[in-house]
Amino acid sequence: MTLRTEPRLADPDGFYAALMEAHRGLDEAASRRLDARLVILLANHIGDDAILREALALARAAGRGA
Amino acid sequence: MPGATYTNPRFPFRRPAALGRAAVEEQRVVIVGGGLTGLTAALDLARRGVPSVLLDEDDTVSEGSRAICWAKRTLEIYGRLGLGERFLRRGITWNTGRVFFGDREAYSFDLLPEQGHEYPAFVNLPQYHAEEWLVAACEGTGLVDLRWRSRVAAVENSADGAMLSVETPDGAYRLRAEWLLACDGARSAVRRALDLPFTGQVFRDRFLIADVVMRPPFPAERRFWFDPPFHPGQSVLLHQQPDDLWRIDFQLGWDADPEREREPERVSARVRSMLGPDIPFALEWVSVYTFRCRRLERFRHGRTFFLGDAAHQVSPFGARGGNGSVQDADNLCWKLAAVVVGRAPETLLDSYDAERGPAADENILHSTRSTDFITPKSGAALAYRDAVLELAEQHALARPLVNSGRLSRPAVLAGSPLSTPGAAPAAMLPAGSPPVDAPVLRDGQPEWLLRRLNADGRFTLLAFDDTGLHAPAGPPGVGLVVVSGREPPAGRLPGVLFDHSGLAARRWGCAPGDALLLRPDGHVAAGFRTPARDAVQAAQRRAMGHAAA
């Protein structure tokens, strides 16, 4: 299996709103921990080391600036 | 700081005969360093009949408790050396680790969840007790010449040995060693004399380590706190030792002033804040230290071998320093003994580096990762660490990511040049594996499998056979241990081990007819389905370092 990169979310706007809602009222540090908890939960769900490393590389490459 | 529960013995300086003589003293095996590693090596060699001279610049055992967590594999090795039961009797047995985050427990883990092993996951005991027993055991063999207050001032290494200049209170002398074992610790004089680079990583953090005498209401388990209320923003580790002695490690951060942190009032305040006002305590020993992970590129240089901290250094989380050192000695000594008496070629000794180099890398990798978790280096690292700890309390999925130290496990010597791969069934313990214990019955009496495998420290063919009648005859120099899944008929087949629980067959992954060739250190050299004598012999020759026929 490889990382699926085609659009897959049924309700992208709804998901995005839920993500923003999850961060509401949190300070920088708490937000950062929330994202980290989310990454760990999703990584465990995926459970495939090759896919996770592919996602890491892709995320890193897509960043702008240093 | 003088100890309340332990007084260091002082060993006498005996004037060596070589002092004042013109001739250079010649010795076959010289060990530099009378700490845990050097004493273990000396005892192992002596039990294989090889005498040695051991030089130590001091005249006592370890100052302070130092290495305290003795792992199962180490206890098994000391079992072979005749000291295992003393560790069990004198030490504190524990199998559970408990991790706290803030003011709550995050989770706990059991390091040895199954029964049926002679030794537990860990026994805690101060290093000085172990060293004292080792000194007495070495003396008892009559084969170890212990020379205290003997400092190695210079080393000249050559292809056929090493020339040492030794300084004593009565003067200096020259000592030529055919074989030199450098067991002289992280600041190894031998390593510096040979000008060998010792490279790696320093961690920008400081830790306060305190031995405290007290009777707190804590069980015998390893407790680790991340960011506890009594030491905010840092971590704390607690271990029980015998004699109401407890070890506490306080993380201090890089900016801490080591001199100030050692002050007893300051240490007492930290301990008081942890224990609360009602538990009386006394400080026994205090030290402030920084971690390093580093190693020599090669552990063999001609006829000089580096063992323990002289060869490699790790951070203490995971108890991989002392336990790794004992495995170094366990790995080298049977080989050196075989070479010294001419039963194996000198090239066998290259396998010490080939096997223990990767083991050191594994220890360094684990202890580096633990330290990175405990000491986050960036805001992101801190956020992830705390996120893992937050999840761990309710979600088992996060617990494997919590790293308060990956506790020492025996090295699997994968890819060893001494192993014969290929012939073994897939279910069997692979070549390079350490031996695994199991309860058995021997002539109707309870016995531990490892005791029989370790009985005389030679090669052993471990044969699984349900009748006990068809066990293969091993080639010369190979002992035979037969494990039967059925009870041997009374009075017949003495010495056959009855695997009454089936655990031996299960743990070794063996069916009737299977057999494994074990090296003198117990590691698997080869596995066979219905072994032929020629194949066993070929595997044994390979494991002795002989080139393939």
Q: Which among B472, B449, B468 is positioned nearest to B522, based on CA atoms?
A: B449
Among A37, A41, A42, pick the best mutation site for testing chain B contact (most B Cβ within 10 A). A37
Q: Does residue A5 lie in a domain region?
A: no
Provide, as residue numbers in chain B, all residues whose Cβ is less than 8 Å from the Cβ of A32.
Answer: 379-380, 383
Fold of B1-92+121-199+291-410: FAD/NAD(P)-binding domain (3.50.50)
Which residue among A29, A36, A41 sits closest to B384, beta carbon to beta carbon? A36
- As a dihedral over the C-alpha atoms of residue B132, residue B137, residue B140, residue B143, rounded to 10 degrees, the angle is -110
Residue pLDDT, tens place only, B431-453: 999 999 999 999 889 999 999 99
The torsion angle over the Cα atoms of residues B117, B119, B122 and B123, rounded to 10 degrees, is 150
At the top level of CATH, which class does the domain B439-543 belong to?
alpha beta
Instruction: Decide if A19 is inside a domain.
Output: no
- Of B148, B147, B152, B150, give the one whose Cα is nearest residue B192: B152
Q: Which residues of chain A have pLDDT under 50?
A: none
3-state secondary structure B199-233: EEEECCCCEEEEEEEECCCCCCCEEEEECCCCCCC
What's the pLDDT tens digit per position in B200-210?
Answer: 988 889 999 99
Residue B317 has a pLDDT of: 85
Query: What pLDDT, on a 0 to 100 scale, did the predictor assign at position B1?
Result: 40
The per-residue pLDDT for B466 is 79
What residues in A contact B395, CB-CB < 8 Å?
41
Give the pLDDT of residue B2. Answer: 42
Helices and strands of chain B, counted as H and E runs: 13, 28
Count how many Cα atoms sit within 13 Å of the Cα of residue B419 in the half-sphere of its side chain.
22
Residue A35 and residue B380: Cβ atoms within 8 Å?
A: no
b vs e for B251-263, b when ≥16 Cβ sit within 10 Å of the residue's Cβ? Answer: bbeeebeeeebee
Chain B residues touching residue A34 (CB < 8 angstroms): 387
Which structure tokens are listed for B137?
A: 């055991």
Which residue of chain A has the CA closest to B386? A33
Distance from CA of A45 to the nearest CA of B (A): 9
Q: How many whole angstroms separate alpha carbon B200 and alpha carbon B186? A: 13
Residues of A with CB under 8 A from a CB of B: 29, 32-37, 39-41, 44
Residue B141 CA to residue B47 CA, distance in Å, equals 7
pLDDT reported for residue B421: 85
Chain A residues with CB under 8 Å of B387 CB are: 33-34, 36-37, 39-40
Please report residues of A whose CB lies closer than 8 A to that of B390: 33, 37
Q: Cβ–Cβ of B383/A33 closer than 8 Å?
A: yes
Domain boundaries, chain B: 1-92+121-199+291-410, 439-543
**What distance in Å separates the CA atoms of residue B173 and residue B497, rounded to the nearest whole number?**
53
Output the six-digit token pair for B135.
């000194």
Q: ipTM of the assembly?
A: 0.96
Is A40 close to B383, i.e. CB distance below 8 A?
Answer: no
- C-beta atoms surrounding B495 within 10 Å: 12
Number of domains in chain A: 1
Q: Do B388 and A40 touch (CB under 8 A)?
A: yes
pLDDT of residue B454: 72
By the 10 Å C-beta count (0-12 exposed, 13-18 middle, 19+ buried), B145 is classed as middle
Identical fold, B1-92+121-199+291-410 and B439-543: no
The CA-based dihedral angle spanning residues B156, B157, B162, B164, taken in that order and rounded to the nearest 10 degrees = 20
Chain A residues with CB inside 8 Å of B380's CB? 32, 36
Interface of B with A in 377-396 (CB under 8 A): 379-380, 383-384, 386-388, 390-391, 395
Domain interval for residue A58:
28-66
Question: Is A16 inside any structural domain?
Answer: no
Q: What is the pLDDT of residue B477?
A: 83
Q: Which residues of A touch B379 (CB under 8 A)?
A: 29, 32
B224 Rama sector, left if φ>0, alpha if ψ -120 to 50, beta otherwise: beta
Residue by residue, pLDDT tens for chain B (549 residues) are: 445 789 999 999 999 999 988 899 999 999 999 999 999 999 999 999 999 999 999 999 998 888 999 999 999 999 999 999 999 999 999 989 999 999 999 999 998 878 999 999 999 999 999 999 999 999 999 999 999 999 999 999 999 999 999 999 999 999 999 999 999 999 999 999 999 999 998 888 999 999 999 999 889 999 999 999 999 999 999 999 999 999 999 999 999 999 999 999 999 999 999 999 999 999 999 999 888 899 999 999 999 999 999 999 998 888 999 999 999 999 999 999 999 999 999 999 999 999 999 999 999 999 999 999 999 999 999 999 999 999 999 999 999 999 999 998 899 999 999 999 877 889 999 999 999 999 999 988 999 999 999 777 789 999 998 765 555 667 888 999 999 999 887 767 778 999 999 999 999 999 999 999 999 999 999 999 988 889 999 999 999 999 765
> What whole-number distance in Å separates Cα of residue B132 and Cα of residue B135?
5
